[in-house]
């Protein structure tokens, strides 16, 4: 399955990746101290800095985008870092309405608030206003990217008990994977320590330094003790980003769709000399940092001096390779990246300003959090842009792909933005009324034109409706089906439809603000 900015450069394995939520392992005892090489005092200090996170949350309903799904709860882990802050996973506090934290070995829970969140990297910072919570705590220090075969300890509150637990293992692999919470393709470390549900947000330590944050595991017959951690380098990137102005700006994206060049004929066809390797540019996404500098059929051969190999990887440390996007993902929005290309056999060099974050290259966005869906209702017809949340409401992690409408799933998997198409606008449902008789069972249609105007985003739908002076409104979907409403009757019936369905507004607040 081609992805994001790299097209053919990676595929997602058919395994189940789970976020480690909810409510063990060996308790932090003298034996654990011996295994980690820590003194009793240092082990106790680490234990004191690990907290359990209790989150009450209420996610939006993307099929009925004017309302919420209802209150739910989850539990995870976190740890105290400098500045009296608590680091945890974003998925632990996504859609939160109320958050509490409790220190290991204590009964009292303290109210916390989310201070910063980075959903794409699955990290969040919490703040507890009551300073008593931090008395006597030595904050944990963020270390560096671990090495393969480093021994690590995973701390947290996994399911099966209420006490702090620790498991141990080694770092077995460092490479890019899909972050399940956001869908972003980022660096991660695979470890063989047991990571269980509830460990989410807990620190992973090498000695007394945090080298990562536990965040997801692999569940499939034949896989045992396969867990993933967000490496310290990404944690530091998040913390450094918000230090600038208190805002997380995101992980940079170059905006290229590329493919591997493992076939010798492919290398020759695009002008590479013997011994040269690179990645072939298939597309430059509109409004991307690379637009106007890099073009289709260019071959990216180096990034910041790192050679790009024929499989689309770079050597980030001696003997260790990963996806070439690693180079620009280590930077911040506003930084630059040096790109060397071969174009028609000639080598060229560009310095590109990184202005856009991960996600700009998607037609159908990955999971959205903490803000209400965008929608517009006219004559009982509910229009909304397609996002992954909408598809995932068709089932759980095991079957949403099976149950989702094939056309919508195809847009999610393969759709790409263009100058004319920025959003996939769907007619999610029809709120039954006299004005829309005959359309009451209509669901999930992709709207391609309204009153003869091509639809590139939801604003096009709204403008085509509100600017129409004719007798009818004509809505056409991707299959050629047309829904026609009497314009005057639809406008007149609108307020009554909203009242009967207990909907406060005909559009989401983000559209009302425009």
DSSP assignment letter at 60: B
Which DSSP string corresponds to 72-115?
EEEEEEEEEETTTEEEE-HHHHTTEEEEEEEETT----EEEEEE
Bridge partners of 327, per DSSP, are: none
Which DSSP string corresponds to 273-319?
PTT---EEEEEE-TT-TTBTTB-TT-EEEEETTEEPPTTSEEEEETT
Tell me which residue of 176, 433, 489 sits closest to 323, measured CA to CA: 176
Rounded (5°) CA angle 11-479-505: 90
CA distance 4 to 258: 10
CA distance 507 to 514: 11
* Contact present, 176 and 163 (Cβ < 8 Å): no
Token couple for 122: 């699955």
Residues with a known catalytic role: 91, 122, 200
**CB neighbours of 387 closer than 8 A, spacing ≥ 6?**
62, 364, 365, 366, 367, 368, 373
CA distance 117 to 471: 48
Q: Is 458 helix (H, G, I), strand (E, B) or coil?
A: helix
CA distance 52 to 156: 7
Kindly report the number of other CB atoms within 10 A of residue 157's CB atom.
29
- H or E element in which residue 352 lies: strand 346-353
């Amino acid at each position: 399955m081609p992805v994001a900015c790299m097209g053919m450069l990676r595929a997602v394995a058919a395994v189940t990746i789970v976020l480690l939520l909810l409510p063990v392992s060996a308790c932090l005892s003298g034996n654990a101290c011996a295994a980690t090489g820590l003194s009793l005092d240092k082990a106790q200090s680490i234990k004191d800095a690990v907290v359990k996170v209790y989150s009450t949350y209420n996610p939006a309903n993307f099929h009925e985008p004017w309302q919420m799904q209802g209150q739910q709860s989850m539990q995870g882990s976190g740890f105290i870092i400098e500045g009296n802050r608590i680091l945890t996973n974003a998925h632990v506090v996504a859609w939160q309405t109320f958050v509490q934290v409790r220190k290991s070995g204590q009964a009292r829970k303290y109210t916390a608030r989310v201070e910063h969140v980075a959903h794409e990297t699955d990290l969040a910072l919490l703040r507890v206003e009551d300073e008593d919570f931090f008395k006597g705590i030595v904050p944990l220090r963020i270390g560096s990217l671990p090495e393969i075969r480093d021994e690590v300890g995973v701390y947290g509150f996994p399911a099966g008990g209420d006490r702090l637990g620790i498991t141990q293992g080694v770092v077995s692999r460092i490479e890019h994977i899909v972050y399940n919470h956001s869908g972003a393709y980022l660096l991660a470390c695979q470890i063989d320590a047991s990571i269980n549900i509830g460990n989410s947000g807990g620190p992973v330590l090498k000695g007394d330094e945090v080298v990562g944050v536990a965040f997801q595991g692999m569940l499939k017959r034949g896989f045992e003790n396969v867990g993933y951690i967000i490496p310290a380098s990404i944690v530091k990137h998040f913390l450094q980003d918000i230090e600038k102005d208190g805002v997380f700006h995101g992980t940079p994206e170059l905006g290229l769709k590329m493919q591997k060049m493992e076939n010798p004929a492919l290398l020759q066809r695009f002008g590479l000399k013997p011994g040269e390797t690179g990645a072939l540019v298939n597309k430059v996404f509109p409004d991307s940092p690379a637009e106007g500098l890099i073009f289709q059929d260019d071959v990216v051969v180096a990034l910041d001096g790192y050679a790009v190999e024929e499989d689309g990887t770079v050597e980030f440390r001696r003997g260790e390779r990963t996806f070439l996007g690693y180079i620009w993902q280590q930077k911040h929005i506003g930084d630059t990246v040096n790109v060397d290309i071969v174009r028609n056999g000639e080598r060229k060099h560009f310095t590109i300003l990184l202005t856009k974050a991960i996600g700009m290259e998607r037609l159908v966005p990955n999971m959205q959090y903490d803000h209400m869906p965008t929608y517009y209702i006219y004559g009982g017809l509910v229009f909304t842009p397609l996002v992954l949340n909408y598809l995932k409401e068709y089932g759980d992690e095991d079957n949403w792909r099976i149950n989702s409408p094939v056309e919508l799933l195809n847009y999610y998997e393969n759709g790409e933005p263009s100058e004319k198409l920025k959003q996939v606008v769907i007619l999610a449902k029809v709120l039954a009324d006299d004005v829309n008789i005959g359309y009451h069972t209509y669901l999930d249609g992709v709207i391609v034109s309204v009153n003869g105007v091509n639809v590139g985003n939801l604003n096009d739908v709204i403008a085509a409706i509100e600017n129409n002076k004719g007798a009818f409104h004509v809505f056409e979907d991707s299959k050629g089906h047309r829904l026609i409403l009497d314009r005057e009757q639809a406008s007149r019936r609108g307020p009554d439809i909203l009242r009967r369905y207990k909907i406060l507004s005909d559009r989401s607040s983000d559209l009302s603000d425009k």
